[in-house]
Amino acid sequence: MVSQKLVKNVVEIMENKKAKDIILLNLQDISLIADYFVICSGESSSHMRSIAQELEKRLKDNGLELIGAKDFINKCWILLDFGTIVVHIFSKKGREFYQLERLWADAQKIVFSEKLDLK
């Protein structure tokens, strides 16, 4: 199980890099893929890459390695798989097209302007 501290760390890194529309999906009770998806949007492909690079660096410093070498990267979507946490960084158009929040509608959803409470 992923610690609340680690999930909060991911969200804080995103917030510090000015990621937009951060959402946490708790998949623990509905999927074996991961415990959490953390989804955000970037304002440009360079902003998206900046968020991804900071997450990879800071989480590696805390002992969490990226699984696979940046599994999926393009101008619409960057996917970073850290095992129990999978990060999705979208462009606005990519997020509208793929609609992961709708696909995983059964997951507990926390939107970040809300307080992070994982109980």
80 lies in some domain = yes
What pTM does this model have? 0.88
* pLDDT of amino acid 69: 64
Does a structural domain hold residue 52?
yes
Q: What is the pLDDT of residues 28-64, one digit of tens each?
A: 999 998 999 999 999 999 999 999 999 999 999 988 8
Pairwise CA distance, residues 87 & 91, whole Å: 13
Whether residue 46 lies inside any domain: the answer is yes
pLDDT at 85: 92
Q: What's the number of domains the chain is made of?
A: 1
| pLDDT score at 71 | 53
74 CB neighbour count, 10 Å cutoff: 11
Q: What is the pLDDT of residues 54-102, one digit of tens each?
A: 999 999 998 888 887 655 678 899 999 998 899 999 999 999 999 999 9
Q: Which pLDDT value is given to residue 1?
A: 47
According to the model, what pLDDT value does residue 88 have?
96
Closest to 49 in 3D by CA, of 80, 84, 21: 80
Residue 119 lies in a domain: no
User: Residue 40 sits in a domain of what CATH number?
Assistant: 3.30.460.10
Residue range(s) defining the domain that contains residue 14: 4-111
43 or 111, which is more confident: 43
Does residue 117 sit within a domain? Answer: no
